[in-house]
Every structure is written in C-alpha cells, then in structure tokens.
A and B are shown apart, each in its own frame.
Chain A
Amino acid sequence: MEPLIALLIGVLFAAGIYSLLRRSIVKLVIGVVLISQGANLLVFTSGGLLAGRPALVEAGATVLEAPFGDPLPQAMVLTAIVIGFGLTAFLLALVCRAHEAVGDDDINAFDNTDT
C-alpha cells in the first residue's frame, strides 16, 4: 500500500501548496489544513505500515509482542494533530478578524499595516 499512500501524500502536499498560492484567505486555511494532513501521514508512514497491530499490551501480558505499529511516530502524530487543530482554529479566528478589519478576502488587499 505504501506507493499509493505516498501518492496520496504527494497529492495532499500539491493541493495544499496550490491552495496556499491562491489569493483568498479561506484558501490559505484550506492549504494549511491539507498540508498538515499530508505531513501527519508522512510521519506516520515513515514509521512503517503494519496492518492491524496497535501498540497495546495484551490483557494479562506484561510485554508487547512484535510485530506492532511503531508507537513513537504515532505519539508524534498525535501531538501534531492537536497542534494542527490549534493552528487551524487560530487561523480561522485570524481570518475572521482580518476580514472584519480589511473588508476583503483578497490577501493582496492586506498591504496596509494601519488597518
């Protein structure tokens, strides 16, 4: 499956970058969301994909038996998801305020520091 997931990651990044390059502030947020999805998948995939084996110690056992999904990238991605959520939320608030202040959703209109 890795090649297909790799393709998906590429598409997510490409779409994210394309979105970042648009002039609408909403597209900016969309771009950031897509790129963070891509980045999360990237880290997750780099740890190696193993179908269906969570890193949980079986009931009654004390030691995790191989093979299991690498827990380290998972912990990182979990952090990244929440941070990404924080970033998206903050961006959305910012977009709202910016729109209110500038009265336009065109980033090229955001060239005045006084508004």
Chain B
Amino acid sequence: MPVSLLISLLFIFGAALVAPSLCRLFKDKGGCLLSLAPFAAFGLLLSQSGAIAAGESIRYHIEWFSSLGCAFSLRLDGLALLMGLLVTGIGGLIVLYASGYMHGHPRLGRFYLYLLSFMGAMLGLVLSDNLIVLFVFWELTSITSYLLIGFNHEEKISRWKALMALLTTGLGAMAMLAGFLIIGQVSGSYELSEINGMGDLLQGSPFYTAMVLLVLGGAFTKSAQVPFHFWLPNAMAAPTPVSAYLHSATMVKAGVFLLARLNPSLGGMPLWENTLAIFGSVTLLLAVVLGLFQKDLKAILAYTTLGVLGLLTMLLGIGTEYAIKAMVGFLLGHALYKAALFMVAGSVDHETGTRDVTLLRGLRRLMPITAMAGGLAALSMSGLPPFFGFIGKELIYKAGVKLGGLELYFLVAAFVGNFLMMALALKAGIGPFFGKENNDALPKKPHEAPVTMWIGPVLLGVIGLVLGLLPFLVTDSIVAPAIGSILGGAIPEIKLALWHGFNLPLLLSVFTVAGGFGLFMLRGKFWAVADPVRAAIRPWGAEAMYERIFNGTIWLSKAQTRCLQTGRLHDYVFMIVAVTVGFLIWAIVNYGGLQFEMDWAQFDPIKVGLVLIMIVATIVAVTASAYMTVLVALGTVGFGVALIFVYYGAPDLAITQLLVETLTVVLFMFVILRLPPLKSMSSMATKIRDAILASTFGGLMTLLVLKAVNIQFDHAISEKLAAMSYPEAKGKNVVNVILVDFRALDTLGEIVVVAAAALGIAALVATGFKKKKGAAS
C-alpha cells in the first residue's frame, strides 16, 4: 500500500513532536513509549517486503511544484527497504537504549525530539524517489545531527566538533545539489525511478564528469571518505546513543546509500568506478591503521566505521555483481554489530566512568550480559563463523579473487583492512571484558547496566548469530532485492551460506583471523606509542587542514569587514556608486552602439532656457552655503520639473509635483530652523574625488537616457489601457484610471508605504519627547 510509506514517516515525525511532552509526563518511561513509533514503522515496512521480494516497487506520489518537475514522491524498493528497516529497527532499539543511558537527564525531551527528527529525516532520505526531496531530507539529517553531536552544548569542544560535521557535510551537500540540478537538466526529470532508466543518456552527456564529481562531493563528505574523514571521529563528542545510531547504521551510510542509489544511472563508467574504488580503499587503509593507535573505546569504533565506509565505497566502485553482493551483505552485517558495539561501549562508559581501553579489563564478572553482547558483536565483526559477519567477509574475498591484474590491489586492501579491523573489533568488544580485573583503577564501581541498555545490543548480537546460521531468512526477502536495485536490473538469484568448501576465500579468512588475533595480542605495543604517533601526524592531517581553512576564512572575513565596513556613510555610498559606475561602463562598452540623432529644430528657446535654469539651480543647491539659497534652488528645480510635466502632456503629474514641492519647502523650513548653519567638513581632495565620481555617474545616466529614448518601446500595454479606459472603467483620465482601477493594488501598496512612513514618524515622536521630558525634569 503506497500510503504506508507516508504513514511510517508520519509515525516518526509525530513521535518527535510529542517527545518533549511525553518526557515531561512520564520521565524516563517516555523513551520506552517513544520507541513504539520506530518499531511500528519497522513493522509497516516489513509488511511490504513480500511485494518487494516479488520484484515490485511501491511508489507514493503527491504533486508539489509540478511546474519545476518537483514532486513529493516516495518509493520503496529493495535498497530502500533494507535501509528503511535498519533505520527504524536499530532506531527503535536506540530510543530504548537512550532511555537508560540518558536516565534523569534534564533535557531528555529535547534529546528525543532531535533524535526522532533525525530518524524521520533519515527514513525520508532512503525512501525518497525525487532528487530534490532527497536533498531536503539530506540537509535535515545534517541539521539534526548537528544538534545531536553538539547536544552537550555547554562544552566548547562539543560545539566546535558539531560545527565541523555540519560545515563539512553541508558544503558537500551544496556540491551535491548542483550535481542533482545538472542531472535534472540533462535527463529532464528529478524522479530517481525515471533517471535510473536513463543511464546511457547521462553517461553520454558532456556534463557527465561534472555531475559525477559534484555528487561525489556530497556522498564523500557525508560518508567521511578521505580527505573528508576527519569529522567522523570528532563527531564522537555526541552522547553515545547518538554515535551508535548516526555513526553506525544511518547517517554515515547516507553517502554510500546515495552512491548505491545512483549506481544504475551514473555507474559503470571508468571515472565512477576508479574514483570510488581508489578513494574507498585509501579510506579503508588509513582508517584501520589510525585506529590501531586509539585508546578511546568510541574512537576505536569510529575508525572501524570509517574503514567499513571505505570498504563499502570500494566495493561499489569495483561494481561487479559479486562486489555488490558483498557490499549489501557487509552493509547489513556491519549495521547490526556496529550499533551493538557502540551501545556496549556506551554501557561500559556509563557504568565505569571511563572509555580508556588501557584501564578497562576483566569486566565480564560484573557486567556479564553486556559482556556477552559485546562478545557476540565483536566476533561477528571479526568475521568468525558462524556469525553473519563471516558471510560478509567471505563475499568480499569471493568478489576479490575474481579480479585480476592491477585490480588485485583491491583484494590486498580488503585483506589488510579486514585483519586490522578484526584486531580493532577484539580491542573494543572483547578487551574490556577479559583479562585480570582492574576495578580499583576505574572512576566508578561498575555493575550491570539496566535492561533497557542491554536489550538492544544483545538482540542485535543474537540476530547477527542467527542470520549467520540461517541466512535464508533474509536472502530472498531483503538482500537479493537490494542487490537488484543497486545493479538496476532484475532481482538476482543468490545463495548465502557459511560453508562454501575449501577455497581461496576460506584460506584468506584463516589468515585474516590469525593476523587479527596476533595484532590484538600486541595491542599494548601500539598503545605505548599512541600519543606521540598521533601528535606527530596531526599537523599533516586533514583535520589540521580544516582548521587552517576555517581560521583563514574567519581572518579573511574580519579583514574584509575592516576594510569595507568603515562605519562611514560616505564610504558606503562611494563604494556602491563606484561599483555601479563600473558595471554601467562595462554594459555600455559591451552593448555599445550609442547613436542618436540631434534634431535641432525641436529645441524651443523657452524650454532650453528652462532646462538651463534648472541645471544652474541644481548646481547651486549642492554648492550654496546658506540654507535659504539651497531651499530656493531646490524649489526652482522642483517647479522646473513640474513645468516639464506640463509641456509634455502630464497635467496630473504637474499638479502633484507643484503641491509636493510646496509642502517639501514648508517641511524643510521647520527643520532648518533647528539646525546649525551649513559648514564645509570635507577636505578639498575628498570633494574633488567625490565630484569626479558623481559626474561620471551623472554622465553615464545621460548616456543611458539617450539610449533609452532611442529604443522603440512597445506601447501595446499603454494603448490597450487607453482603449479600455472609458468603455470599461468609465474614466476619461487614463492616468487616474490606471491608479485607482487597473493598477489599484499598486496604489494600495503605495498608500500602505506612506502610512508606514507616518508610523515611523509617530515612533520618532514617542521616543523623542519622552527623552526631552526626561532631560527637562
């Protein structure tokens, strides 16, 4: 049922809206209630899986800006279903977990508002079928994740890191939007379901390179690929439930999701494949190597997430059917165990008061359930049979051994990445619970976490185990349709199994396990040098680059403010006029052709005299030093203008001008009475400079008018108005008819402006006389 897509979105956004009041009413229990919304959405999506597995897709469509080709359309296909289930399923568990983790937090309601809004945005992102809608949800995830990462906003460092994530992903999103617009222009549609059928058109377009690079800008920043990887470990400033959700299963996967989404239309070309594979593999290797030198539980997990994102991108870039299979399998497996590991890390932090892995060991006796969950997840992540993680890893090796030549590099990268990742998994999921107890060195005396905090990781760990043993549960219903949507074809026949016989992938797995375990045993060696190593590479890292760019931008804006914003009206006016003069000259040079005919016969001596008098009066008005002279000169100019109106058939204008001029002179009189006499304040040099600029501007205006009067305007509108004036509006004065009938709305706007000016003056009265009285008393 198409509308169920909308309903599932509304569930989550609805829950976000009521979250603050629920939390006020039920305190911590509010979290348990709120978790029902994502679970309901999960159920709703799952109920559609039959249709998806049968190869259908469900589309919900509302017209929005139809003239711009922008509709609010949602679509559930294999990929969207997989992602949607992860977003809502893990989301529900996280909401539950947070009710324990954030127990008694004063801003719990606000936290849930942000978290559920993020969840809704993420679900909208994976369900959207329109590029513009996708972009809107994409930005919404950036904004809500900014609020979540910076949730502990009292700390400056939290704010700084949240801003880093926002700026990086936000700038990428701008590039992505540009890419989307190009795609829309080339293909003529913003509907993904249509665009995915137009791969050949897009790839044949001269703008192909531009659209790929721009879209990759968005995807790479969101999914933290090198060189934008730095924001992800920093985003660990967020409360742990947020890290567990945003940085395992959802937000960082949005980039990979986008790449997978556009794979049918943009993929298959060397540019796409090579960029993805190379950047992905570099991210993978960099992340796992840096991860070895981390001592913070969450930082270790963050670097493994980076590694996985690199791996997924690399697999997409390789792009064979095997690689896509491996990617989907790995994506699913990773979401399950990484969310569990983050939650376990959060529980450990919550109960012991530290995340330093050099202190944490032997907790299994005091926190047995958490230890079990951590162990299950870590083993799945290590890729040991019979866990689902093993299947994912086997698929990667199976895809890898099919490669040849230079591409074997990717197999090597996957192998190295995997065994380092295994070492990290053991460090994070096993290390804290085994070995000799070290409870005295911990800031808090540990005990088992509450049920809300272990149910999620245990459940995810068990699912990882069950899916490993019984992969057919998800093969046909979820994994295969997702592969089908990424490849852009029919749903492939696939078979996931733990045992494929003795072969090269199995051998590689054995080496991986051995290598990973070996490194895990050597972990102390890496920790010993961790701090100096990190300090040594930091100045060359991308984060330092980000800081330089950030500070440089601030320096630049300060410098340009100092030089442009002088606080003097003179300078502002001068700059504005100078720039306008520049553009006018440019326009005249470019569109030149300034020819006009002088018809000396039409120079009537009276009019010539009038204009000359007005010119003299104008000059007097700005140069005279006595108010009276200025006033007379201004009056002369004004009455002169009125006379011009009289000569050229505009009696209404002439009368209005006369009255206005009279009133202006009266008003000026009142003001002048109060002011000190005019005096010359500027230096001669300034005056000359100003005069040159002003005369240039005036000269250009003259040229412009001459050009304008030589253009034959189309008088069709005026003629039509004149013809309609009497028959339709019963008025013989066309000007007045335009004012009160044809264009009455403009006139209404005008009198509103006049009324606003009066109110402004009234406000001046109010402030003015209050102060006056105060001064007098």
Q: How many residues in A have their beta carbons less than 8 Å from beta carbons of B?
A: 91
- B650-A92 in contact (CB<8A): no
Which among B615, B649, B693, B747 is the interface contact of A11 at CB below 8 angstroms?
A: B615
Which chain B residue lies CB-closest to A71? B734
- A10-B768 in contact (CB<8A): no
Once A21-B570, A51-B648, A78-B735 are accepted as A-B contacts, the answer to whether A6 and B705 lie under 8 Å apart by CB is: yes
Assembly CA distance A102 to B307 (angstroms): 64
**A55-114: which have CB < 8 Å to B?**
55-57, 61-64, 66, 68-72, 74-75, 77-79, 81-90, 92-97, 99-101, 105-108, 110-111
Assembly CA distance A31 to B379 (angstroms): 80
- B569-A107 in contact (CB<8A): yes
**B139-196: which have CB < 8 Å to A?**
none
- B573-A74 in contact (CB<8A): no
**Closest beta carbon of chain A to B47's beta carbon, Å:** 62
- A75-B725 in contact (CB<8A): no
Assembly CA distance A74 to B700 (angstroms): 24
Chain A residues positioned under 8 Å from B750 (CB to CB): 79, 82-83
- B721-A71 in contact (CB<8A): yes
Q: Mark B747-776, 1 if CB is under 8 A from A, else 0.
A: 100100110011011001001100110000
For the complex, is B439 an interface residue (Cβ under 8 Å from A)?
no
Assembly CA distance A72 to B739 (angstroms): 9
Assembly CA distance A44 to B254 (angstroms): 58
Which chain B residue lies CB-closest to A58? B732
- B634-A30 in contact (CB<8A): yes
Stretch in B220-228, B480-488, B651-659 touching the partner: B651-659
Chain B residues positioned under 8 Å from A10 (CB to CB): 698-702, 705
Q: Mark A17-39, 1 if CB is under 8 A from B, else 0.
A: 11111111011111101100110
- B725-A57 in contact (CB<8A): yes
Once A72-B738, A97-B767 are accepted as A-B contacts, the answer to whether A1 and B675 lie under 8 Å apart by CB is: no
Chain B residues positioned under 8 Å from A110 (CB to CB): 569
- B649-A51 in contact (CB<8A): yes
Assembly CA distance A51 to B717 (angstroms): 21
Chain B residues positioned under 8 Å from A33 (CB to CB): 634, 664
Assembly CA distance A74 to B648 (angstroms): 11
Chain A residues positioned under 8 Å from B663 (CB to CB): 85
Assembly CA distance A52 to B648 (angstroms): 5
Once A45-B709, A47-B713 are accepted as A-B contacts, the answer to whether A74 and B650 lie under 8 Å apart by CB is: yes
For the complex, is B723 an interface residue (Cβ under 8 Å from A)?
yes
Assembly CA distance A46 to B757 (angstroms): 29
Q: Secondary structure of the B side of the interface?
A: helix
Which chain B residue lies CB-closest to A31? B622
For the complex, is B404 an interface residue (Cβ under 8 Å from A)?
no
Assembly CA distance A46 to B705 (angstroms): 7
Stretch in B205-213, B428-436, B499-507, B638-646 touching the partner: B638-646
Is the interface on chain B under 10, 10 to 19, 20 to 34, or 35 or more residues? 35 or more
Assembly CA distance A74 to B649 (angstroms): 10
For the complex, is B682 an interface residue (Cβ under 8 Å from A)?
yes
- A21-B760 in contact (CB<8A): no
- A44-B702 in contact (CB<8A): no
Once A34-B637, A75-B738 are accepted as A-B contacts, the answer to whether A14 and B743 lie under 8 Å apart by CB is: no
30 A-B pairs, CB-CB below 8 angstroms?
A: A1-B602, A2-B596, A2-B706, A4-B611, A6-B703, A8-B618, A9-B701, A10-B700, A14-B694, A23-B570, A30-B630, A41-B644, A42-B708, A46-B708, A46-B713, A47-B713, A48-B715, A52-B648, A62-B726, A75-B739, A75-B743, A78-B739, A81-B660, A82-B750, A82-B754, A85-B663, A92-B667, A96-B671, A106-B681, A108-B681
Extra A-B contacts (11), CB below 8 Å, given A8-B614, A11-B698, A107-B569: A3-B706, A8-B611, A13-B698, A14-B699, A23-B570, A27-B622, A29-B668, A63-B723, A68-B649, A79-B739, A85-B660
Listed from nearest, the 8 A-B pairs whose CB atoms lie closest are A14-B698, A10-B702, A69-B649, A57-B732, A18-B694, A6-B705, A10-B698, A71-B734
Please list the residues of chain A having a beta carbon within 8 angstroms of any beta carbon in chain B.
Answer: 1-24, 26-31, 33-34, 37-38, 40-42, 44-57, 61-64, 66, 68-72, 74-75, 77-79, 81-90, 92-97, 99-101, 105-108, 110-111
Please list the residues of chain B having a beta carbon within 8 angstroms of any beta carbon in chain A.
Answer: 567-570, 573-574, 577, 596, 598, 602-604, 607-608, 611, 614-615, 618-619, 621-622, 627, 630, 634, 637-638, 641, 644-645, 647-653, 656-657, 660, 663-664, 667-668, 670-672, 674-676, 678-679, 681-682, 690-691, 693-695, 697-703, 705-706, 708-709, 713, 715, 717-719, 721-723, 725-727, 732-735, 738-739, 743, 746-747, 750, 753-754, 757-758, 760-761, 764, 767-768, 771-772
